[in-house]
């Protein structure tokens, strides 16, 4: 009887070790599965972002050449969101260049960039301006934003100066010359 009990205990001990080993492997597999799911979600988010940016780029590339009077466009949006008209203090063209060097098809497109400086705006005013700009101006995309804190302020509102670089990808006015 002692021998049978000893064999039975040995079998139970062997089964317990087997279960413990299986549980450890199961826990490791579950952790790897969670990590893989998190990585998949991250990749899916990046893919959605790339698709959204591709769609935006295609929309800009297919657009007609934008109006040249960007000052009027900025002032119209400032007025629409309730910002004073003297907020725009500077506007300077940064570049207007043909895209690409080697292929004829690239020469059909030009990239233009302008820098606009808006002075003494609150954070909500900046947010309203940029939101309205994005909804009404799909061609001129803000590619760089710099905020500068206005010094020597009195009062509870914190004011900032905003320097924004707007870039547009447009069709060139004239087709590129044909190579012979």
> How, if at all, do strands 109-122 and 141-149 pair?
unpaired
46-72 per-position pLDDT tens digit: 888 877 776 554 444 444 445 457 888
Q: Are residues 56 and 74 in the same domain?
A: no
- Total domains in the chain come to 2
Closest CA to 74 of 113, 111, 117, 110: 117
pTM, full prediction:
0.54
Q: Are residues 117 and 91 in the same domain?
A: yes
Minimum mean pLDDT range among 12-16, 60-64, 93-97, 144-148: 60-64
Identify which of 93, 92, 88, 68 has the alpha carbon closest to the alpha carbon of residue 78. 88
pLDDT digit string (tens) for 1-16? 688 888 888 888 888 8
Sequence-ordered list of residues with C-beta below 8 angstroms from that of 167, at least 6 positions apart, any chain: 111, 112, 113, 140, 141, 143
**Which residue among 27, 42, 62 closes a domain?**
62
The 10s digit of each residue's pLDDT in 100-115 is 655 555 556 778 888 9
Residue keyed to tokens 């707007």: 166
> Sign of dihedral through CA atoms 25, 28, 33, 34?
positive
> Are both 51 and 85 inside the same structural domain?
no
Q: Are 91 and 114 in contact (CB under 8 A)?
A: yes
Q: Which of 16, 46, 62 is the last residue of a domain?
A: 62
Residue 82 has pLDDT above 80, yes or no: yes
Question: Structural domain of residue 115, as residue ranges?
Answer: 70-171
Within-domain flag for 14: yes
- Highest average pLDDT, of 6-20, 101-115, 116-130, 159-173, comes from 116-130
């Amino acid at each position: 009887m002692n021998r049978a009990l000893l064999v039975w205990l040995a079998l139970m001990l062997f089964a317990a070790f087997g279960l413990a080993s299986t549980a450890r492997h199961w826990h490791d597999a579950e952790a790897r599965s969670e990590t893989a799911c998190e990585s998949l979600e991250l990749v899916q988010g990046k893919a959605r972002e790339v698709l959204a940016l591709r769609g935006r780029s295609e929309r800009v590339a297919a657009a007609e050449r934008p109006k040249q009077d960007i000052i009027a466009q900025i002032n119209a949006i400032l007025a629409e969101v309730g910002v004073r008209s003297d907020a725009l203090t500077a506007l300077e063209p940064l570049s207007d260049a043909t895209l690409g060097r080697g292929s004829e098809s690239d020469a059909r497109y030009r990239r233009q960039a302008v820098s606009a400086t808006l002075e003494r705006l609150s954070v909500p005013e900046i947010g309203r301006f940029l939101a309205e700009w994005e909804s009404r101006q799909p061609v001129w995309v803000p590619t760089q934003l710099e905020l500068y804190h206005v010094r020597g302020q009195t009062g509870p509102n914190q004011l900032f100066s905003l320097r924004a670089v707007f870039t547009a990808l447009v069709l060139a006015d004239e087709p590129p010359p044909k190579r012979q």
